[in-house]
Structure formats: C-alpha cells, structure tokens
Amino acid sequence: MNRIGFYSVFFTCLVIFQLTIAQETEWTRVAKPGYDIYAPVTLANGKYGITISEKAFSDNQIQLNGVFDIFPGKMVESSIAAIDFTNLELIVMDPKEATTERADFLKGKSLSSASLNSLEDWQQEFNFREGWLNTQFEFEGLQVSHTLYALKHMIQTGIVKLTFTAREDRFFSLKNILDVDYPYQFNESKYLHQLRERRIPLFTASAHSPTGKYLSATTSSFYFEGDNPPHLNYVDDDKSKPYLGFEKMLKKGESLTVYLIGSMATTETYTDPINETARLNIYTFLTGPEKVIRQHKQSWEDFWQKTDIVIKGAPEINKDVRLMMFMLNSFVNSQTQLSTACMGLGRDYWGYKALWDADFWIYPALLLINPESAKAMLEYRWNRLEQAKQNAAAHGYQGAMFPWESGASGEEQTSLLYLTGPFQHHITSDVGLAFWRYFSVTQDKEWLEERGYPLLKEVADFWVSRAEQNDDGKYEIRNVVGSDEFAINVDNDAFTNGGAIQVLKAAAKSAELVGREPDPRWKKIANNLEIRTFPDGTVREHDTYEGETIKQADVNLIGFPLDVITDKDIVHKNLDYYEDRITPSGPNMSYAMFAGAAARTGDREKALRLFEKALLPYKKGPFKILSLGTSNISTYFGTSAGGLLQAFILGFGGLHFTEDGLVQKDPCLPQGWQSIQYKGIGNNQNFEVK
C-alpha cells in the first residue's frame, strides 16, 4: 500500500449555511421528490459528456466523442468512456465515533449505500443558460451542495464545486476514486503533489480501451479555498480502485468549499495523455476554478447574447426550445472536427456513431443557431471523403458513398444483423445536402470552392452511377432501404429519390457558382427521377407500398424539409395519409417534420397540434428530457430536438435554404401564440413572426 500526504489545517467558514430552495425560472428546471420517473441530465462540450445520477456523487458516466474501439461480443466499433473523475465516496459520522483507525469504514454512514429517499431536502437544479447542474441534500446532519460543469471553453476538463455545512458537529471523509470496470483494463495510478514551490495535488489513473487500442487517462485535483490545503491521502492497494481523499471535522455551522478538477484524454489525441491531463489540471488549478467557471458561463452567455428565440404566448414551449438549443450546442464544438451521435454524448444505443440523425436532423438545426459548430460536423465528413469514395468503388459505383454508421475512419460500422449498411443509401444525399446548406446560410464561396463543391460533385457522381434509366427516359433508384426502415430492399423509395433530386440540383448549382461546368447528367437525372403516387395524388412511399405501418417519416420528408413537393394540397394529403400509419413504438422525430410540413401549408392549428404531438408525450422526468420513445426513458434525444428546431425555425419561421441565403416567406404563427422573435439565426439574421 502506498500512502502519500501532507499536513495542514482546513480553511473553514463560521457561517450558517442554508440549502437554497430552488424555484424554476425561464432558464432552469428543478427536480424535487415526488416525480414518477427520472431522466438524467447530460452536460457536454462536444468532446465529452457527463450523464449525472440523482445522487451526483457516483454512478455518473463520462462519454468521449470520436474515440472508437471494439467491445467484447461486438463486431463493430463504439466510442469509449473516460475514467470518471466525478466518482466520489462521502462518509459521515458523529465525531464521538471518529476515534479509531479507519473509523469511517467501521461506524460511518456511506452516501453510496443510502437510498435517495433517506436524503433530506434533496433537489437538483439544471441551468441551461449557464450550463450547470446543482444537487443539494442533507445527509446525516451534513448539508451538501454539488455543482457540476462540463467546461464549454476547455474541452478536456470539467469541475465539480462542493460545499459542506454541518447542521450538527460532524466528522466526514471524501474520497475521489478513479477506477474502471470490464472491459476496460486498468493500467496504473500515480500521485504527484510537488511542483517546485507549488503544492498541486495531481491524482492520475490510466486504463486501456477494450482491445488495448488506446490508453485513456484522467487526472483529478482537489482545490480548497483559503491558503491552507488539507492533508490528502493517496491509496493504491493494487485492487484497481485507487483513491485520493481527506477527512474533516466540522463544528455546527461551519462550512467547507472544495473544488474537484478533472481532465481526460486518450492516445487518440495525445501521445502522452497521462502528462497532458496533469498539465491541464495544473493550468486550471493555478488559473483558479472560480475564474474558469466564470469563463465557462461567459462562453454560454456569449452564445445566448448572439442567438435566442423568444415566444410570446407559450412560455413553457419557449423553455423547451431553449433547452433544445442548449443541448445541440453541447453535443458539438467548433474547436473539434467531430460529429455527433443521435443521443449526443448521453447514453447512446448505436455506439456513438454518426448516422443520418447527425446530418439530416441535428446538423440543419445547429447550422441555424451556431454555424461555426455545425461546420465541425462537415469537417468530420470531409476528413472521411476518401473512405467514402473507396466504399462506392467497392460497391461498383462512382463518386462517394457514405456509410450508414460512421465511426473513426469512415468505414461502414453497421452490424451485419441489419441491411441498413449495404442499402440505406440516402445517407449520401443527407451528407451532400448538409454541405450545400452550409453555403446557403453563410454564402461563403471560398469554402464552397474548397469544400462544398468537391464533395457535392462526388455525391452527384454516385447518384449518376446508382440511378437506372427506363425505356421511357425516366430514372429509378432500386433496391434500397428508405428512411422507413420497415421497408427493406424496395424500389423508388420517395425519400431516397427526393434526396437524390435535391442533391443533384445542389451539385449543379454549386458548379455554376464556382465557375465549373456541371455534368449535364446531374440535372437530367434530377428532372426525371421517379416519385411514385397513388391515383388521388398522394405520394406512394415506394413501388410496392400498400398502406402498411411505417417506422418513421419517409414520404412527408420530401415536403418538409426537402421541398421537393411544394403543392399544398399534396402536402396535406401526404400528412393525412401517413400520420396514423407511423407505429406508436417508433421514434418521435417524425411528427416534428409533419409539423414543419403543416406550417409550410399555412395550417396553424395542424402545425401546432403536430408540434405538440412530437414534443409533449416525450418529455420525461422533472427536467423534461426528450426521450427516444413514449414508453422508454433515455438521455436527451438530439435527433428529436433537431427535427423540432427545424420545424420551429424553418416551418413556423418560414425560412428557406436558398442559393441567395436564408429567405423568409409565408411564416406560420401557431394558433394561440402572439409572436416569435428569432435572433441571430444563420448568418446572424433576425426574423419575426406575428
């Protein structure tokens, strides 16, 4: 056993501390006892995300973005978790019992063993303007306040601020445990506390990812207010559960505030993540945690000062919309070249890979509220363009064919259990249209020439080789899986063909804008690609569709947001026909796009009804977390938020992506609302709907 420590006296505050009774504001949501279900908050910064439990001291999860490995029993990759620097063990006892060696284990009460119901005055407050979650409770006569920050401006680092106040004389210990579970392989822990004349506690643990592909490291540091830091004990007993901790006696009314700084990194980014995380902690420690927290809050304030949405007449939906904006901005960071999973950096079901959820659902919404962060998602795809070209060639096609599930390299990462990998080709259009929309919003022709057009050309060439011409000169796309994934290996899926039409047109227009000659086949195929209909004009999902239950929206997406179908009567027919054909167990994003389509037609009542249908049944727990389905509890479903924001901004706001920028026409104010103000949308534009 290795024990290292240094002695000093704690700084304490002789003040009476009262737990604050949190009340909800327009920027907060509060959890208090009495709820039926609990859906957790995830705080993230695009590089990592922390999903926080009800107690907050343990059972949290820190997920890394873009660091992929193969897990046991799996054939495709998933992103790995970080060593959790927020893992804490609190043990409290009466001072009279704190007289024997290791008294905390013998006589103390452990927070990890306590039920949530045993915690007095428990509450959590989630602030989505400043980006923090506070947990408060009283445990065994000790009042506790725990506030967690996933730092927006320091993408490898986070901070926990802890305040303990004694209601009665209390002795307690706090341990920070850095450990891993199978299939991660613990490597080692280290403790350093001497940096020349400065005593900075640096507690580091490292572990190998499941196959040993990466070394992951986390460094944590306790920072105490005042000049005299406490005596810290480091224990590593070779049981892969090393900890750094301290003990403290508080008299009634005394308080202690301590910060826990944590930095995380892997060999995916750094050759030496152990030392790099230690350096980041040194920087944060000497800058001062409160200053770093202020910088974090200012980063969020800078965003909200530039971009906001204000609804008069619907305050609760306004909170929902702002929470959507916060969450999508948390999933992606302009300082990276990473995309996002459909659950962001919460708890994901698809290995944290990039699917169409990223490019078709989340990206357009993020582009409208934060183009710089959205650009990072495009860089992720651009960096994997060569792999997409190899994928197309392997399947006998030209151009670029993007994978249905994309991880580290851009190779296909869909399980062999599903046919979506080989056949869900609309993802290639989804990626291409994401690039076109970036130009539509920013009007950046230099970027269009360097990035946009080269990728769009490859996407268009793929569809030229993929489409088949009939004897009558029309074109078809056969043997695909559409966005309705119940329809396997069908011909002329409406959404697949509609996306191909729009991306071929975008490629041709891009060529003209950068002074290139577009391939004449692009427009020819776009103008002659089949969209099937029933005799009454309702669009038929695919050639053999006869009204079966569908998993999620397909036909309706070509009305909104693709604008392939603009005839209002046909859009209405499609809405009426397909709304009740979506399976009740399907994901919730479909109705968001139905709402956008209804708004395009000017139907205020239907637009609001469908928007609420996409939103209200899926808000789970006290924080109103958007869940994947009505019957399950999940972390925040970013795909749904992306669809709802598109419906809200493009549909209600009447905004359109055009070659001349964002253009507003025919906005639709939902029935019963007074007005909507859109501030800093797209290329810093303001719009109003009355």
Q: What is the pLDDT of residues 335-345, one digit of tens each?
A: 999 999 999 99
If you write DSSP's letter for every residue of 328-385 in order, what string do you get? HHHH--TTS-----TTTTSS-SSTT-B-HIIIIIIHHHHHHH-HHHHHHHHHHHHTTH
Contacts (Cβ under 8 Å, ≥6 apart) of 568: 600, 601, 602
| Residue 341 shares a structural domain with residue 411 | yes
Helix, strand, or coil (residue 551):
coil
Q: How many domains does the chain have?
A: 2
CB 432 within 8 A of CB 508: no
Measure the CA–CA gap between 136 and 147, rounded to whole angstroms.
Answer: 9
pLDDT of residue 105: 54
If you write DSSP's letter for every residue of 543-609 in order, what string do you get? TT--S--BSS-SGGGGTTTS-S---HHHHHHHHHHHGGGB-TTS-THHHHHHHHHHHHHT-HHHHHH
Measure the CA–CA gap between 656 and 668, rounded to whole angstroms.
Answer: 13
Contacts (Cβ under 8 Å, ≥6 apart) of 512: 518
| Residue 324 shares a structural domain with residue 296 | no
| Residue 593 shares a structural domain with residue 654 | yes
Sign of CA dihedral 238, 243, 247, 252: negative
For 258, counting Cβ atoms within 10 Å of its Cβ (0-12 exposed, 13-18 middle, 19+ buried), the class is buried
CB 152 within 8 A of CB 45: yes
Retrieve residue 266's tokens: 């892997």
Q: How many CB atoms lie within 10 A of CB 512?
A: 13
- The secondary structure element, H or E, covering residue 657 is strand 655-658
Question: Which phi and psi (to 5°) does residue 139 adopt?
Answer: -130, 115
| Residue 519 shares a structural domain with residue 611 | yes
Domain termination site, one of 251, 269, 301? 301
CB 442 within 8 A of CB 657: no
| Residue 287 shares a structural domain with residue 378 | no
| Residue 156 shares a structural domain with residue 212 | yes
| Residue 264 shares a structural domain with residue 318 | no
Measure the CA–CA gap between 24 and 12, rounded to whole angstroms.
Answer: 31
Contacts (Cβ under 8 Å, ≥6 apart) of 290: none
Strand partners, 246: 174
Q: What is the CATH number of the domain that holds 179?
A: 2.70.98.40
| Residue 433 shares a structural domain with residue 376 | yes
Domain termination site, one of 301, 329, 353? 301
| Residue 317 shares a structural domain with residue 378 | yes
Collect the ranges in the chain with pLDDT lower than 70.
1-20, 99-106, 194, 196-197, 239-240
Considering the entire predicted model, what is its pTM?
0.95
Retrieve residue 518's tokens: 């577009």
| Residue 555 shares a structural domain with residue 667 | yes
Strand partners, 170: 250
If you write DSSP's letter for every residue of 326-340 in order, what string do you get? HHHHHH--TTS----
DSSP code, position 101: T
Q: What is the CATH number of the domain that holds 650?
A: 1.50.10.10
| Residue 52 shares a structural domain with residue 22 | yes
Contacts (Cβ under 8 Å, ≥6 apart) of 284: 154, 157, 159, 221, 261, 263, 292
pLDDT of residue 99: 65
Domain termination site, one of 301, 336, 355? 301
Domain that holds residue 264: 2-301
| Residue 231 shares a structural domain with residue 352 | no
Q: How many CB atoms lie within 10 A of CB 630?
A: 14
Question: Which phi and psi (to 5°) does residue 159 adopt?
Answer: -140, 140
